[in-house]
Chains A and B, each alone.
Chain A
Amino acid sequence: MTARTISKWAGSALLGALLLSSASSILSARKAAPGIPSRPSNPGEECLACHGEKSLTTTRGGRTVSLFVEPKRFSASVHGSLGCTGCHADLEGKDLPHDTPLAKVKCGTCHPAEQEQYARSLHGKASARGDPLAPRCLDCHGNHDILPVKDVRSSLAPLKIPFVCGKCHREGTPVQLNRPIPQDKILENYSESIHGEGLLKKGLIVAPTCATCHTAHLILPHTDPASSIARRNIAATCTRCHGQIESVHRKIINGALWEKEANVLPACVDCHQPHKIRKVFYSQGMADADCMRCHANERLKRARDGASLYVRVGELLDSRHVKVACSQCHSEVNASHVRPCETITRPVDCSSCHDEIGKQYLRSTHGQLLAKQDPNAPSCKECHGTHGVLGRTNAQSRTFPTNVPQLCGTCHREGQKAAVRYTGRQHEIVEHYTESIHGKGLLKSGLTVTATCTSCHTAHRVLPRTDPESSVNENNVPATCGQCHHGIEEQFESSIHSRRVSKTRKDLPVCNDCHTAHSIRRTDADIFRLDIMSKCGRCHEQIAEAYFDTYHGKVSRLGYAKTAKCYDCHGAHDILPVADPRSHLSRANVAATCQKCHAGATRRFAGYLTHATHHDPRKYPFLFYTFWGMTTLLVATFVVSGLHTLLWLPRAFEMRRELRAAEAAELAQNQTDASASPGTAPAKEGADD
């Protein structure tokens, strides 16, 4: 045997095997496919010979049951083309009349997916347990007259589903009475709900029926994690129809979070109770009344630490959250417990609804401290309160503009917990703010649009100025102030001090460098005008010093605001280099700038050196030499005349002594003369002198 013959033999054997196997697979496929009747027949022609008679009955379990099959309805049903043996497979090839009873029809033979779901479902398991109340396929779908679901005549057309389910799940049925079903009056509630109304009253066949939420076949209790109505799945179930529900909820709920962290967030049903869903938002949520059964008690205390758990109803009713149910904030409640709140493990998380604000807060210093579990960290409630939370537009609110300084001051006032840990330069913040133009505007003039703490520091994203993202970071200050002072910001941003104009690594001033942070004053106040030189002088040191050598500066130094200050000539926010034609001090503008005070000033007048110093021989030689010329004259004069006076002094004293001696002698002489010739006046004394 050669290798060639072996391969030839093997090849033909392989071919034969292949042919054989394909033929058998075709055969088996034909045999296995139940949808294709092996013996095409006029449907039920033979069966109807008996079952077409209305009088055909049998007795099952002591009851007489009709075995009549209406030929027309059967042939019109979805299964009409299958013939009787399509479902009653055990009749295949049997002689008629057949033995009774027939085996139970197995719908799963053709509907394996549905069958599989059913088997996992509450209904399927009950059925498997042999629960006599468990529904089987035909209990919902019927038997010989099954129509497509989309056919309005179908017993499972949307409009009929509540009634199909209601056969078992309405009040008083054995199922409702004997099985642990937590909901009651299901059908009644549904028919009054917005869903039921839409379906039953308005005939909207797209309105959700029982099966829309509970599914048709995979009906599971809500405690089963796989259930469509399980807490973690309910959002997905509802959003199948309510796709844009996030936007209805003021964009506060991030869709992903809602589904991912269902335990944090209130589930749809917490507010929109199952079966009772109304068009209007529920003012009475799942358990408000239930909560208040205990929490209206003033003496209710927490066992752990004795903290009061009393909730004043009036406070809630006046609050901004009046329409929010307890369980919306205090999520994780479980309505099936006697104390629904006992399943709560976390404190209230406001960011469940206020998502964006929550993110801002977590980024803020306050939030960071809270994350570190700092006992001083303020959380939402420190500022907003708890049940009585009011909007910032409510004058009673702690966050109403006029109350904000006090609110922030509770921690940031000197000596308070935020102030004592603060190491920066700002002190007596509240006091300074109160005296500032903003504080006066807010608190004295009652201008609620005036800047408060939160206007600059933001309400929730409070960050230290060293943080580049802080609203009070030097790079962000112009924009922060510009929220109100927009025109000024525009001027400033085109000035030489703006980083957009000056590409430098040096420090550049921003608003608060001149205006300060908290003690901002009116710029026409003397104290501001007098202080500006020290502000500008922080960077422009020599210029500011030289300014004080001139008349403007000297008068300023004496404490008078009237003479020109830096910004009177240079401009305040629109400062530009002198070479810039737009500058107040450019060739074209300088005379007009001087004329603001010196009527009639000319360009030549503007040649006055406003920052001249006589100490700089290179920059101002003529001033330098004038000064030293005058000083030399002064010193020389004083040296000569001083020397003259000093040399004179001893002689002067000498003369004084001589004079006194002469006077004494003269007095003695006069007395002698008087005693020698009393009554005689010295007649010629004057002439002798």
Chain B
Amino acid sequence: MTEGGPEKREYVRFTRLHRIMHAGMIVSFLSLALTGLSLKFSYTGWAAVLSHLLGGFETAGYIHRTAAVLMFGIFAAHLTDLYRMKRREHGSWRSLLLGPGTMLPTRKDFSDLVATVKWFVGLGRRPAYGRWTYWEKFDYFAVFWGIAIIGSTGLTLWFPVFFTRFLPGSFINVATIIHSDEALLATGFIFTVHFFNTHLRPEKFPMDITIFTGRVPVAELKRDKPLEYEALVARGKLEEKLEEAYPPIVIRAIRFFAWGALSVGFGIVLWILYAMLFAYR
């Protein structure tokens, strides 16, 4: 588009809203994890220190619920965004959900999974992935699942007096277990599998920050998502989605934030491992 040279422009993979939502998710998720796990692992010395750093269990509780509200908000914003996307770009839910860019699992995702595993073990080539790889789709629905499970049980724990009007009191105990273990699954998964699959793959080292910039170099798009690239080229839409890359200072700020979040995540993983393996009771 601009005269500066096409090689400096990058493909915009995520909209501004997506990026804001992801950043919001990071803040919300880390807050929830830190405050929640401090309670779950209350038997470790770390938990008491953290709880005091966070301003006491009551403040930690406020942070936890505020972050939960933010998470619900992001979730609601995403649903709203889906609705707007349907109206603007697809016209119908069917097109949105079953079109080429769908988040729903398709037959190709299964064949991609099989082909990927074959590639892992040296029995084939790397498959040509589309707009969303199967692990990205898994992460996406993990959030849905997590918000449903953790969110509903969390609300029960938040308003026990209300919920015990129609649920037995011991359901609070059940909700506690589900909330706590599902949260452990979510944090553990995000801070290890998601981090590796998306941000810290060796070929993207030091870090894939596409979700923060929204931009991916065209060469990388062509390599990682060949089918999407081809579709864009075929429809002639690549050009209109190219934009200038951010200046280095912005990139540095983004990396700083991302590494911070990543470090907190890894810290939490270490803490979980310590709590589960060495201090469990």
Point out residues on A near B: beta carbons under 8 Å.
548, 550-551, 553-555, 557-560, 562, 598-602, 604-609, 612, 614, 620, 622-623, 626-627, 630-631, 633-634, 637-638, 641-642, 644-645, 647-653, 655-656, 659, 681, 685-687, 689
Residue from A548, A604, A623, A687 within 8 A of B168 (CB atoms) = A604
Measured CA separation A641–B139 after assembly (Å): 11
Tell me how far the C-beta of A21 lies from the nearest C-beta in chain B, rounded to whole angstroms: 114
Kindly list the 10 A-B residue pairs having the minimum CB-CB distance in the complex, ordered from nearest: A607-B169, A686-B6, A630-B181, A647-B120, A554-B42, A608-B169, A605-B164, A557-B42, A656-B203, A655-B203
Inter-chain contacts of A659 with B (CB < 8 A) = 203
A605 touches B117 (CB 8 A): no
Measured CA separation A626–B201 after assembly (Å): 35
Residue from A605, A630, A638, A642 within 8 A of B169 (CB atoms) = A605
Tell me how far the C-beta of B108 lies from the nearest C-beta in chain A, rounded to whole angstroms: 18
User: Within B176-235, which residues are at the interface with A (CB < 8 Å)?
Assistant: 176-178, 181-182, 184-185, 188-189, 192-193, 196-197, 201-203, 205, 218-219, 222
Measured CA separation A551–B219 after assembly (Å): 52
Is B88 close to A, CB under 8 A? no
Measured CA separation A103–B254 after assembly (Å): 149
B39 touches A551 (CB 8 A): yes
Is B173 close to A, CB under 8 A? yes
Residue from B43, B135, B157, B203 within 8 A of A557 (CB atoms) = B43
Point out residues on B near A: beta carbons under 8 Å.
5-7, 9, 38-40, 42-43, 47-48, 51-52, 56-58, 117, 119-121, 126, 135, 157, 160-161, 164-165, 167-170, 172-174, 176-178, 181-182, 184-185, 188-189, 192-193, 196-197, 201-203, 205, 218-219, 222
Measured CA separation A558–B37 after assembly (Å): 12
A605 touches B185 (CB 8 A): no
Inter-chain contacts of A685 with B (CB < 8 A) = 6-7
Inter-chain contacts of B222 with A (CB < 8 A) = 689
Tell me how far the C-beta of B191 lies from the nearest C-beta in chain A, rounded to whole angstroms: 12
Residue of A602, A608, A681 ringed by the most chain B CB atoms within 10 A: A608
Tell me how far the C-beta of A543 lies from the nearest C-beta in chain B, rounded to whole angstroms: 15
Tell me how far the C-beta of B194 lies from the nearest C-beta in chain A, rounded to whole angstroms: 9
Inter-chain contacts of B38 with A (CB < 8 A) = 558
Given A551-B39, A651-B119, A652-B202; A630-B182 close (CB under 8 Å): yes
8 example contacts (A-B, Cβ-Cβ < 8 A) are as follows A548-B43, A551-B176, A554-B40, A555-B39, A607-B169, A609-B173, A627-B181, A648-B196
Measured CA separation A650–B52 after assembly (Å): 42
B177 touches A626 (CB 8 A): yes
Tell me how far the C-beta of A570 lies from the nearest C-beta in chain B, rounded to whole angstroms: 17
Measured CA separation A31–B138 after assembly (Å): 148
Residue of B52, B121, B174, B178 ringed by the most chain A CB atoms within 10 A: B174
A604 touches B42 (CB 8 A): no
Q: Which residue of A lies closest to B180 (CB)?
A: A630
Inter-chain contacts of A689 with B (CB < 8 A) = 7, 218-219, 222
Tell me how far the C-beta of B6 lies from the nearest C-beta in chain A, rounded to whole angstroms: 3
Measured CA separation A634–B183 after assembly (Å): 10
A607 touches B57 (CB 8 A): no
B189 touches A608 (CB 8 A): no
Measured CA separation A510–B7 after assembly (Å): 83
Measured CA separation A281–B6 after assembly (Å): 124
Q: Which residue of A lies closest to B175 (CB)?
A: A626
Tell me how far the C-beta of B161 lies from the nearest C-beta in chain A, rounded to whole angstroms: 5
Measured CA separation A604–B120 after assembly (Å): 54
Measured CA separation A604–B167 after assembly (Å): 8
Q: Which residue of B lies closest to A658 (CB)?
A: B203
**Apart from A631-B181, A638-B185, what 9 extra A-B contacts exist at CB < 8 Å?**
A558-B42, A601-B161, A601-B164, A607-B168, A608-B173, A609-B170, A649-B202, A686-B218, A687-B6
